[in-house]
Amino acid sequence: MYYTCKEYYEKKFDSVKREYTFTADTQEAHQAWKKAARERLIEITGMNQCVRAEAQAECKESTQMDGYVEEYWLMQTEPGVTMPFYFLKPGNGEAKNCPTMVNPHGHGGGKEKTFRDWFAVDLAKKGYCVVCPDARGSGERREQWQQGDEAEKLRMNSHREIQQMILGFGQCMAGLAVWDLMRLLDLICTWDCVDENRIGCAGMSGGGQQTVWFAALDDRIKVAITSGYFYGFKDSLVSLPGNCACNFVPNMWRTMDMGDMGAMIAPRPFFVESGEKDHLEGARGLENVYPQVQTAKKAFALYGAEEKLVHSIHDGGHEWRGNGMLDFIDRNL
Ligand SMILES: [Zn+2]
């Protein structure tokens, strides 16, 4: 016989009040709610404890590729915290005011995976600047236990180690990832090649998570694309608590659900890709996705912008298909 407590917490999720549930019925009320919700998210993630570094960034390598320039950069996001990233520029690298996409990666692998497996190079060849950073605990930012160049080690991350280390400070991985992405935007928005009014963000899985959080918290993101990360928290994270540690935010179940985060992105164009068989959606599959999309859609409707929220469903599992995404970016950025 086992006496488990998961069922107790699943019931508790239903009984607690989520204080920042989206209920606004005017644009003004939506904006006021978004501002208050942002403040609360910044508080519960512990982002308010992050420390700005002196602006420090250095381009270590620049290579002319076929149709784009690939640069490798190091920057400080907090004093002594270094974030490496690739920056792709179209053509010979001399174009100015380009639309720009941020591509955060998922839980397995780092920035190399993002720009090899997805559409970073396609975008650069089409005239976009593209930035692919390593999140804390991934790629070149893995802690000592996961470091190494073997294929198996390259897929590993230190999200659990870092999450457990920072929990005692009242911080969490989601907040630190967004902090780093914000500092990355501070930097690239000063560059001539980047049009600061045309910046988007796209990611899969953990990268989809970073995208939703980043776009919800920062209006500089004008277009957001998330794949493999948009589902109700209860089925996906309370009933599946073995998911990557970076998913968990103190007090989140008392703050809002995923659809409310989508509502924070409205009316900025938002593309959600879901796989019919994505196990991370939980036992009910897409039934745990539709209500969240509906919540977000109500916020878009306040602006007459329902068509700016696209829900694209494919027949696969937890995977990036990208159907329609390039068009969506071209149309909206
Ligand atoms: Zn993770």
**Cα of 311 to ligand 1 centre, how many Å?**
24
User: What domain range is 53 assigned to?
Assistant: 20-332
**Cα of 305 to ligand 1 centre, how many Å?**
32
φ/ψ (deg, to 5) at 32:
-65, -40
Assigned domain for 185 exists: yes
Residue-wise burial string across 114-145, b where 16 or more C-beta atoms lie within 10 A, e elsewhere: bbeebbbbebbbbebbbbbbbbbbbbebbeee
Assigned domain for 15 exists: no
User: What DSSP assignment string belongs to 109-126?
Assistant: S-HHHHHHHSSHHHHHHT
**Cα of 247 to ligand 1 centre, how many Å?**
7
Please report, for the domain that includes residue 68, its CATH number.
Answer: 3.40.50.1820
Do the beta carbons of residue 325 and residue 119 sit within 8 Å?
yes
Residue 19, token pair as written in the block: 């204080």
The total number of structural domains that make up the chain? 1
Cα Rg, the chain, nearest whole Å: 19
Assigned domain for 85 exists: yes
**Cα of 246 to ligand 1 centre, how many Å?**
4
Strands 223-227 and 194-204: parallel
**Cα of 159 to ligand 1 centre, how many Å?**
5
Digits of tens for pLDDT over the chain (333 positions)? 999 999 999 999 999 999 999 999 999 999 999 999 999 999 999 999 999 998 789 999 999 999 999 999 999 999 999 999 999 999 999 999 999 999 999 998 899 877 767 789 999 999 999 999 999 999 999 999 999 999 999 999 999 999 999 999 999 999 999 999 999 999 999 999 999 999 999 999 999 999 999 999 999 999 999 999 999 999 999 999 999 999 999 999 999 999 999 999 999 999 999 999 999 999 999 999 999 999 999 999 999 999 999 999 999 999 999 999 999 999 999
**Cα of 163 to ligand 1 centre, how many Å?**
9
**Cα of 63 to ligand 1 centre, how many Å?**
30
**Cα of 192 to ligand 1 centre, how many Å?**
33
**Cα of 242 to ligand 1 centre, how many Å?**
11
**Cα of 142 to ligand 1 centre, how many Å?**
12
Burial of 178 per CB tally in 10 Å (0-12, 13-18, 19+): buried
Do the beta carbons of residue 46 and residue 175 sit within 8 Å?
yes
Assigned domain for 128 exists: yes
Assigned domain for 140 exists: yes
Say which residues have a Cβ less than 8 Å from residue 67's Cβ, sequence separation at least 6.
90, 91, 124, 125
Assigned domain for 310 exists: yes
The amino acid occupying position 24 is A
The pTM is what?
Answer: 0.97
